[in-house]
């Protein structure tokens, strides 16, 4: 790969980007982007703790940007798409950041104008995990429509932001993420239901389980529900999880009977 010229780097920095949805992840994402782009954000409520380089604007002004990132919940995405579709810049590139990909990709194609480019994207990290990683932050991308040729510029932007860009189709992503991400959140929420607590005699394994619980449950409950309900492959994952739990319990039945 040839080194990027100074002119190419300047072009990347001059990209205008909007972040729609200024929740915890949206603010985190906007702050990352603001080191390379001119970034504005928009939300239905006034945000008082925006990063210093990010301005909050009304939706009409936000839709003037070349690149529009959607950092809203999976279940809220269709409503947001319907709200922006009539007024979005005709040559915009819209990029979702949902943790599932088949559903958002289909909804963006269905609702957005034909003139608008679409990129499916999933940053495989968040405000908590990003600070703990020592490697490049993984992000999945896939071009749905790219008639204006911004897809490679966006991938280059992510690389500039210390991300490791992996290209994966929405279907392949959801098949993989149902287990690599879905099972992690399922285990974390299950442990929370057990009301596990720190212990002075905790093993390293137990401490790591608590870390999984804390990290996954620090995300909104809506994310957990959306991950499980909008990924077409999580039903299979949950069935296998339940079967494996029952199989593990079965290994102890004889011992339980003897102990009674």
CB 84 within 8 Å of CB 60? no
Taking alpha carbons only, the member of 123, 127, 98 closest to residue 227 is: 98
Q: Where are the beta strands (DSSP E) in 128-189?
A: 137-145, 163-167
- What pLDDT does residue 27 have? 97
List, in sequence order, every residue forming a beta bridge with 42; answer none if it has no partner: 20
Helical (H) or strand (E) element with 69: strand 67-70
Tell me the CA distances in angstroms from 100 to 66, 120, 123, 218, 224, one per residue in order. Answer: 24, 9, 11, 19, 11
pLDDT band at 257 (very low <50, low <70, confident <90, very high): low
Task: Determine the Cα–Cα distance for residues 79 and 92; give it in Å rounded to an integer.
Answer: 19
Range name among 34-43, 59-68, 72-81, 213-222 with the lowest pLDDT average? 213-222
Tell me the CA distances in angstroms from 163 to 133, 151, 166, 200, one per residue in order. Answer: 11, 15, 9, 37
The vertex-37 CA angle with 34 and 38, nearest 5°, equals 85
- Sign of the Cα torsion 143, 144, 149, 154 reads negative
- What pLDDT does residue 131 have? 84
Sheet holding 67-70, edge to edge: 54-56, 38-42, 16-20, 67-70, 93-96, 117-123, 137-145, 163-167
Report pLDDT digits (tens) over 180-234. 999 999 999 999 999 999 999 999 999 999 999 998 999 889 999 999 999 999 9
Superfamily of segment(s) 6-168: NAD(P)-binding Rossmann-like Domain (3.40.50.720)
pLDDT band at 62 (very low <50, low <70, confident <90, very high): very high
* Count of positions (residues) in the chain: 260
Q: Phi, psi at residue 192, to the nearest 5°?
A: -65, -40
Report pLDDT digits (tens) over 127-169. 988 988 889 999 999 999 999 999 999 999 999 999 999 999 9
Task: Determine the Cα–Cα distance for residues 257 and 249; give it in Å rounded to an integer.
Answer: 12
Mean pLDDT of the chain: 92
Where b means 16+ CB within 10 Å and e means fewer, 79-90 reads ebbeebeeebbe
pLDDT at position 37 over 50: yes
CB 148 within 8 Å of CB 117? yes
What are the residue ranges of CATH 3.40.50.720 in the chain? 6-168
* Other beta carbons within 10 Å of 207: 11
List, in sequence order, every residue forming a beta bridge with 96; answer none if it has no partner: 70
């Amino acid at each position: 790969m040839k080194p990027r010229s100074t002119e190419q780097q300047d072009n990347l920095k001059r990209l205008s980007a909007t972040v729609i949805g200024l929740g915890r992840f949206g603010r985190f994402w906007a702050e990352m982007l603001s080191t390379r782009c001119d970034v504005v954000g928009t939300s239905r409520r006034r945000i008082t703790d925006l990063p210093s380089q990010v301005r909050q604007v009304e939706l009409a002004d936000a839709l003037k940007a070349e690149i529009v990132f959607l950092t809203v919940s999976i279940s809220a995405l269709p409503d947001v798409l319907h709200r922006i579709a009539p007024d979005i810049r005709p040559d915009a590139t819209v990029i979702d950041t949902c943790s599932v990909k088949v559903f958002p990709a289909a909804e963006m194609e269905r609702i957005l104008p034909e003139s608008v480019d679409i990129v499916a994207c999933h940053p495989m990290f968040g405000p908590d995990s990003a600070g703990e990683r020592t490697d490049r932050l993984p992000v999945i991308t896939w071009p749905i429509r790219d008639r204006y040729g911004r897809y490679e510029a966006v991938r280059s932007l992510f690389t500039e932001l210390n991300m490791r860009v992996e290209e994966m189709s929405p279907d392949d992503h959801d098949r993989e993420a149902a287990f690599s991400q879905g099972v992690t959140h399922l285990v974390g929420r299950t442990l929370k239901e057990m009301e596990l607590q720190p212990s002075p005699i905790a093993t390293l394994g137990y401490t790591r389980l608590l870390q999984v619980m804390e990290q996954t449950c620090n995300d909104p409950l809506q994310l957990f529900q959306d991950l499980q309900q909008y990924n077409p492959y999580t039903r299979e994952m949950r069935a296998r999880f339940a079967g494996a739990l029952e199989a593990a319990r079965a290994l102890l039945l004889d011992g339980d009977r003897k102990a009674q």
